[in-house]
Amino acid sequence: MTESIVSNHASTVSHQYHPHFGTVGRQRAYEKVIRVLTVHEFPGDDLAIEHVRQKYRKNCKLPTIRATTDALRDFLRFIKDRDIQSLTEITRDELTVFVEREQDRGLQPISVKNKLALIYAFLGDLTERGIIHSDLMKRKIRIKLPDALPRAIDSLDMSKLLSVIDSIRNRAMILLLLRTGIRIGELLCITMRDLDIRERKIMIYEGEKNRLGRVVYFSDDVHDALIAWIEERDPCKVFLFYARGRQTMTYGGAQVMFAKYLRRANLDHKGYSLHRLRHTCATDLLNAGMRLECLQQLLGHSNIEMTRRYARLSDKTREEEYFRAMTIIEKGQDDGYDQCGAELPPIHEATELLDAYR
């Protein structure tokens, strides 16, 4: 019965629009982004526009194109404010001052680093074309980032949060994020055709960050929540989740929804975000004994070092080793620990031994 419901939903939708496919909508969005550079008279704005067009031709995702455009706009405006007439006049000092200015504006280190990387990509392109000197690409400015632990949601807090969710759609969304570890952008791009309710899996055809496709699986509670939502949702909608009166749901709309439930559960002071559900899923799976390599595939990490960060957070073996050793220490039962002082030679004997080696 439930499988037929899902099948009927999937057969009624169309793939005329999908964020991962080249569409008229994507082209219009790209043209809108390009206007950010064309409306200003910046030094080198024609070169910046050509660089962004290259990104589009290479089929880069629209968020990447937007981020590149914003970074180049800010940098070229900075160059203009310093009365630099040509990009050939840029030196490492200009880049250094630009970074300091962004830091003084209160930008987070990761944001400054990402913006600088986009600018260096632009300058590298100009270097290859012989427009600027290659010396500018030597001794690149490096921004040190803290290697912070991922932050999971406390299990008791998670229970409180789930207890206040009264919407069938929202419960299915939050449980799906919690049990699969997919990113919010990936969740919002799931169509009915991507969902296999019988096999309890979802096809993520293109990862949000690295564009790697993968398969994720979901648990019994997610299965039940999805069935409840599918029975209620509009079968003519393309995407699995959508906002009222819309074909899709925005990232901002999902964040507003999550913040509402945090307030209702009196958890809004703890700084939880939707992305924390991904951290929570990874931590729970590692604590349950999942191998690191399997978790890497489920999370869509191209580098296993990214996955190892969760192992630092949830290494039960290390925790057990510590408390076992500490129990021995506190009880004074480790080999020779209590006798350590008694085995030391008297001071005058130690001095004679030292004299013998001089």
Tell me: the pLDDT tens digits for 128-184? 888 888 888 888 888 887 766 778 899 999 999 999 999 999 999 999 999 999 999
Place of tokens 């019988």: 198
The CATH homologous superfamily for domain 40-137 is Tyrosine recombinase, N-terminal domain (1.10.150.130)
Task: Compute CA distances 70 → 37, 66, 131, 151, 300, whole Å.
Answer: 9, 6, 22, 29, 27
- Domains of the chain: which residue ranges? 40-137, 155-313, 327-356
Distance in angstroms (rounded) separating the CA atoms of residues 224 and 107: 42
Specify burial of residue 343 (Cβ count, 10 A radius: 0-12, 13-18, 19+). exposed
41 pLDDT exceeds 90? no
The average pLDDT across 285-314 equals 83
What pLDDT sits at residue 32?
A: 72
What pLDDT sits at residue 108?
A: 86
The average pLDDT across 79-88 equals 86
Cα–Cα–Cα angle for 178, 180, 184, rounded to 5 degrees? 70
Other CB atoms within 10 Å distance of the CB of residue 56:
19
What pLDDT sits at residue 354?
A: 47
CATH 1.10.443.10 fits 155-313, yes or no: yes
Rounded to two decimals, what is the model's pTM?
Answer: 0.67
CB 117 within 8 A of CB 140: no
207 pLDDT exceeds 70? no
Tell me: the pLDDT tens digits for 213-268? 889 999 999 999 999 999 999 999 999 999 988 888 988 999 999 999 999 999 99
